[in-house]
Copies of this chain bind each other. A is one copy, B any other.
Amino acid sequence: MPTDIEIAHGYTLRPIEAIAALLGLEANDLEPQGRHIAKLTAETLRGLRSRPHGKLILVTAVNPTPAGEGKTTTTVGLGDALNRIGRRASIVLREPSLGPVFGRKGGATGGGHAQVAPMERINLHFTGDFHAITSAHNLLAALIDNALHYRLPTATGEALDARSISWRRVLDMNDRALRQVALGLSGSGGAGNGPVRETGFDITVASEVMAALCLANDLPDLQSRLARIRIGKDLAGTPVCAGDIGAAGAMAALLTEAALPNLVQSLGGSPAFIHGGPFANIAHGCNSVIATRAALALSEFAVTEAGFGADLGAEKFANIKCRSAGLAPAVAVVVATVRALKYHGGMALADLGKPDPAALARGLEVLARHAENLAKFGVPVVVAINAFATDAAAEQQQVLDHCAKLGLPAHLCTHWADGGAGAEALAHTVAAIADAADPHAGFRLLYPDAMPLADKIGTVAREIYRAEGISLAPAAARDLARFTEQGFGHLPVCIAKTPYSFTADEHVRGAVTGHMLPITSVRLAAGAGFVVALAGSINTMPGLPRSPAAHHIGLDEYGRITGLS
User: Chain A: residues with CB nearer than 8 A to chain B?
Assistant: 31-35, 42, 98, 102, 120-121, 124-125, 127-128, 131-132, 134-135, 138-139, 141-143, 145-146, 148-150, 152, 171-187, 189, 193-194, 198, 200, 219-220, 223, 246-250, 252-254, 256-257, 537, 543-544, 546, 548, 550-555, 559, 561, 563-564
Known: A131-B128, A181-B181, A543-B149. A173 touches B553 (CB 8 A): no
Residues of B within 8 A of A141 (CB): 175
Among residues of B, the one whose C-beta sits closest to the C-beta of A219 is B559
Q: Compute how far the CA of A543 lies from the CA of B194 in the bound complex, rounded to whole angstroms.
A: 11
Which of A120, A146, A219, A553 counts the most B-chain CB atoms under 10 A from its CB? A146
| Given A138-B171, A177-B193, A180-B187, 7 extra CB contacts under 8 A | A33-B33, A121-B257, A125-B135, A131-B135, A142-B175, A177-B183, A223-B555
- Interchain CB contact under 8 A, B173 and A544: no
Residues of B within 8 A of A553 (CB): 249-250, 253
- Interchain CB contact under 8 A, B33 and A548: no
Residues of B within 8 A of A249 (CB): 551-555, 563
- Interchain CB contact under 8 A, B98 and A135: yes
State which of B176, B200, B250 has its C-beta within 8 Å of the C-beta of A145: B176
State which of B127, B145, B178 has its C-beta within 8 Å of the C-beta of A183: B178
- SS of A interface (majority): mixed
Which of A142, A186, A223, A554 counts the most B-chain CB atoms under 10 A from its CB? A142
Q: Compute how far the CA of A401 lies from the CA of B209 in the bound complex, rounded to whole angstroms.
A: 58
Residues of B within 8 A of A173 (CB): 135, 138-139, 142
How many copies of the chain does the oligomer comprise? 2
Residues of B within 8 A of A146 (CB): 176, 543-544, 546, 548
CB distance from A216 to the nearest CB of B (A): 12
Q: Compute how far the CA of A507 lies from the CA of B143 in the bound complex, rounded to whole angstroms.
A: 29
Residues of B within 8 A of A548 (CB): 143, 146
Residues of B within 8 A of A178 (CB): 183
CB distance from A150 to the nearest CB of B (A): 5
Q: Compute how far the CA of A352 lies from the CA of B247 in the bound complex, rounded to whole angstroms.
A: 34
List 21 contacting pairs A-B, 8 Å CB cutoff, sorted by A: A32-B32, A32-B34, A125-B132, A131-B134, A146-B544, A149-B177, A150-B546, A177-B183, A177-B193, A177-B194, A178-B183, A179-B185, A179-B193, A180-B186, A181-B182, A181-B183, A181-B185, A223-B554, A249-B555, A250-B551, A253-B563
Among residues of B, the one whose C-beta sits closest to the C-beta of A554 is B249
- Interchain CB contact under 8 A, B175 and A180: no
Q: Compute how far the CA of A109 lies from the CA of B174 in the bound complex, rounded to whole angstroms.
A: 34
- Interchain CB contact under 8 A, A138 and B193: no
Among residues of B, the one whose C-beta sits closest to the C-beta of A140 is B550
CB distance from A565 to the nearest CB of B (A): 13
State which of B31, B182, B220 has its C-beta within 8 Å of the C-beta of A182: B182
Residues of B within 8 A of A125 (CB): 128, 131-132, 135, 254, 257
Residues of B within 8 A of A256 (CB): 120, 555, 559, 561
CB distance from A51 to the nearest CB of B (A): 20
- Interchain CB contact under 8 A, B172 and A135: yes
Among residues of B, the one whose C-beta sits closest to the C-beta of A259 is B559
Residues of B within 8 A of A143 (CB): 544, 548, 550
Q: Compute how far the CA of A70 lies from the CA of B132 in the bound complex, rounded to whole angstroms.
A: 29
Residues of B within 8 A of A554 (CB): 223, 248-250, 252-253
Q: Compute how far the CA of A347 lies from the CA of B561 in the bound complex, rounded to whole angstroms.
A: 56
Q: Compute how far the CA of A121 lies from the CA of B260 in the bound complex, rounded to whole angstroms.
A: 14
Among residues of B, the one whose C-beta sits closest to the C-beta of A254 is B124
Q: Compute how far the CA of A254 lies from the CA of B101 in the bound complex, rounded to whole angstroms.
A: 11
